[in-house]
């Protein structure tokens, strides 16, 4: 049981997810200070009542830290800047890489602190309400040190998968399975549409049967068939996660053929729609007939990703 009573926490990365988690921690009674290299992200957090700093060095030695970053290399650059006397635990919610988490855990342990990989699922709503789920990779001691923060973010809805890096592996597998389901449900509803069947009715019926999933029950009705495509998670990040899941598998000699094929489809969608498109817009490339926007315009230039460490790191 963690007995540390210092409720100061740094949140690094104030994007859609990080900003919402910072607000949740503040509402739970934590003394929160946020950092993001983006002035706009800091301003948005400040409007929500979060204290911010433009200098990450100001956060060194804060007892607790939560990371919400776009990639493993940013995690590697950030953690050494936070570790200092006084650091108790760093909770990394980034969809990162297992090798990075193992390295950061060793670095933290050598300085008497804890590092846990705890990539999250639940989207903006879960982050804003403290009801995220987390895939946790950590030693038992590190988990105990980080538990107060994990409880505030998840309400206890986290799974201790195993040692450092294991949370990253399972989160990547979760995301690539969601990626595969987004493709397969889209293709199936496209077939239904071709038969003159209302895709919404087909999705509702399938969702009550053995082929149902969160994708068919929620994502397609709410974000695809409606044409809103406003999940808050980008196509660029999902394409990255799907590719990374296949890469992580290859590192241990596994060759998941179906998942590799799915990752390829997401790369095709990325080329057609650009990284800033919502991840549910994959339907526009696999089943354009069921989406109000239809197929992407092949002549339009793909948008480019913003240059910021301000990342949203979770899929539904």
Active-site positions?
A: 171
Rounded Cα gap, residues 267 and 264, in angstroms: 5
Q: Please state the three-class secondary structure of the chain as a single string.
A: CCCCCCCEEEEECCCHHHHHHHHHHHHCCCEEEEECCCHHHHHHHHHCCCEEECCHHHHCCCCEEEECCCCHHHHHHHHHHHCCCCCCEEEECCCCCHHHHHHHHHHHHHCCCEEEECCEECHHHHHHHCCCEEEEECCHHHHHHHHHHHHHHHCCCEEEEECCCHHHHHHHHHHHHHHHHHHHHHHHHHHHHHCCCCHHHHHHHHHCCCCCCHHHHHHHHHHHCCCCCCCCCEHHHHHHHHHHHHHHHHHCCCCCHHHHHHHHHHHHHHHHHCCCCEHHHHHHHHCHHHCCCCCCCCCCCCCCCCCCCCCCCCCC
Any residues with CB less than 8 A from the CB of 17 and at least 6 apart, and which? 68, 93, 120, 124, 127, 311, 312, 313, 314
CA distance 303 to 296: 12
């Amino acid at each position: 049981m963690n007995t540390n009573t210092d409720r100061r926490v740094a949140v690094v990365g104030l994007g859609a997810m990080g900003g919402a988690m910072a607000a949740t921690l503040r509402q739970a009674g934590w003394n929160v200070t946020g950092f993001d290299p983006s002035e706009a992200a800091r301003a948005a957090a400040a409007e929500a009542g979060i204290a911010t700093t433009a200098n990450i060095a100001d956060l060194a030695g804060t007892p607790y830290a939560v990371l919400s970053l776009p990639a493993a290399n940013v995690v590697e650059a950030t953690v050494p800047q936070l570790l200092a006397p006084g650091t108790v635990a760093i909770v990394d919610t980034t969809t990162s890489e297992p090798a990075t988490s193992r390295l950061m855990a060793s670095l933290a342990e050598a300085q008497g602190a804890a590092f846990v990989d705890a990539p999250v699922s639940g989207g903006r709503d879960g982050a804003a309400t403290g009801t995220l789920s987390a895939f946790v990779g950590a030693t038992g001691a590190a988990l105990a040190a980080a538990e107060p923060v994990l409880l505030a973010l998840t309400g206890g809805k986290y799974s201790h998968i195993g040692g450092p890096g294991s949370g990253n592996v399972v989160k990547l597998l979760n995301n690539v399975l969601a990626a595969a389901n987004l493709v397969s449900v889209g293709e199936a509803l496209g077939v239904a549409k071709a038969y003159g069947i209302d895709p919404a009715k087909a999705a509702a019926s399938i969702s009550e049967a053995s082929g149902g999933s969160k994708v068919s029950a929620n994502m397609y009705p709410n974000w695809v068939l409606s044409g809103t495509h406003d999940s808050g998670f980008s196509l660029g990040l999902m394409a990255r996660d799907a590719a990374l899941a296949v890469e992580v598998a290859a590192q241990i000699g596994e060759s998941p053929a179906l998942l590799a094929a799915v990752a390829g489809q997401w790369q095709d969608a990325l080329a057609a729609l650009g990284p800033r498109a919502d991840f549910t817009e994959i339907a526009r490339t696999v089943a354009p007939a069921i989406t109000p926007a239809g197929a992407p315009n092949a002549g339009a230039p793909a948008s480019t990703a913003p240059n910021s460490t301000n990342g949203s790191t979770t899929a539904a």
